[in-house]
Amino acid sequence: MVRGIDIASQGMIPLMEKQDQIANNLANMNTTGYKASGLFLKTYQKYLENDQQQPDAVGSITADAVNIDYSEGPMAQTGSPLDLTIKGSGFFTVMTEDGPEYTRNGNFSLDPQGQIVTSDGSKVLGKDGFLKVDPRYPVAVNENGEVVQQGQVRGMLRISDFQKPYAMTRCGESRFKPVDETATEQTSTGYVVKEGYLETSNVSAVRNMVEMISSYRNFEADQKAVQAQDQTLEMAVTQVGKLS
């Protein structure tokens, strides 16, 4: 009986983790460049050591990994020359206090010194270092990622890529870092930079709401199983063997 309570309660743990991921996705539906995440959970069979021990299998059930969906989100037109979107594979490269980080959020602007920066002030990297222009004059970015001012190329965006499937971890601000710090950064090929557009979140509200309802119902079923077995156990303790 106690084993049944344990198994049912263990099934609730990954469902709670899944609800957390879904809630985070829905909270970031309007976050530029955000990539949806989900949980990967292997079958309970992996926790069974062999056929003889299956009836007494023990061990906690947790999610094996958080997977990130790197598919492109829809484009939203803004008209701002420093709102940029990458069509194709790759990331903008940003220098932060923790080193280079990578993002699909191209919501950039100029700081007072004329350097291209993100919304939190981190500097955007070009192929030859930081990108700097004269803040007094208009700036344009062409499809190759070249930063053009007064007819002259002032630098080129550093569009970075990594071996697929990506093994990245979130850094906040819709930015990522490779899980393996020794991973080799590659120069992206086959991309196009679109000026005056931003890549919006790739979160599907309908899909996430359906998954939220499904996981909630599964959690509720496990919860009822725990309650039923607890009531049966209580009756066994208080009623069985009771003298009339």
Q: Domain boundaries in the chain?
A: 2-70+203-238, 75-199
pLDDT for 9: 72
Q: What angle do CA 214, 216, 218 make, to 5 degrees?
A: 70
Q: Which of 2-16, 79-93, 201-215 has the lowest mean pLDDT?
A: 2-16
Q: Please answer whether residues 12 and 221 qualify as being in contact, where contact means their C-beta atoms are separated by less than 8 angstroms.
A: no
**Region of residue 40 (phi > 0: left; psi between -120 and 50: alpha; otherwise: beta):** beta
Report d(CA 191, CA 156) in Å as an integer: 13
83 DSSP 8-state letter: B
Report d(CA 219, CA 14) in Å as an integer: 9
Q: Please answer whether residues 58 and 118 qualify as being in contact, where contact means their C-beta atoms are separated by less than 8 angstroms.
A: no
**Measuring CA to CA, which residue among 160, 194, 192 is closest to residue 177?**
160
Q: Please answer whether residues 191 and 87 qualify as being in contact, where contact means their C-beta atoms are separated by less than 8 angstroms.
A: yes
**Measuring CA to CA, which residue among 108, 113, 74, 71 is closest to residue 93?**
108
Q: Which amino acid is at 111?
A: D
Q: Which of 24-28, 90-94, 179-183, 222-226 has the lowest mean pLDDT?
A: 222-226
Tell me the mean pLDDT in the region 143-162.
96
Q: Report pLDDT digits (tens) over 25-39.
A: 999 999 999 999 988
Report d(CA 34, CA 104) in Å as an integer: 8
pLDDT for 44: 53
Tell me the mean pLDDT in the region 162-176.
93
Angle between helices 205-238 and 2-27 (to 10 degrees): 160
Tell me the mean pLDDT in the region 212-227.
86
At 162, the pLDDT band (50, 70, 90 cuts) reads very high
At 241, the pLDDT band (50, 70, 90 cuts) reads low
Beta bridge partners of 199: 75
State residue 223 phi and psi, 5-degree precision: -65, -40
Tell me the mean pLDDT in the region 199-208.
96
Beta bridge partners of 198: 76
Q: Which amino acid is at 25?
A: N
Q: What angle do CA 77, 31, 192 make, to 5 degrees?
A: 45
pLDDT for 62: 65
Report d(CA 152, CA 87) in Å as an integer: 24
Tokens describing residue 72: 């492109």
pLDDT for 46: 54
Tokens describing residue 190: 């086959």
Looking at every residue in the chain, the average pLDDT score rounds to 87
Q: Report pLDDT digits (tens) over 36-69.
A: 998 876 655 555 555 554 544 555 666 667 889 9
Q: Please answer whether residues 199 and 73 qualify as being in contact, where contact means their C-beta atoms are separated by less than 8 angstroms.
A: yes
Q: Please answer whether residues 122 and 92 qualify as being in contact, where contact means their C-beta atoms are separated by less than 8 angstroms.
A: no
Q: Which of 50-54, 102-106, 126-130, 213-217 has the lowest mean pLDDT?
A: 50-54
pLDDT for 63: 66
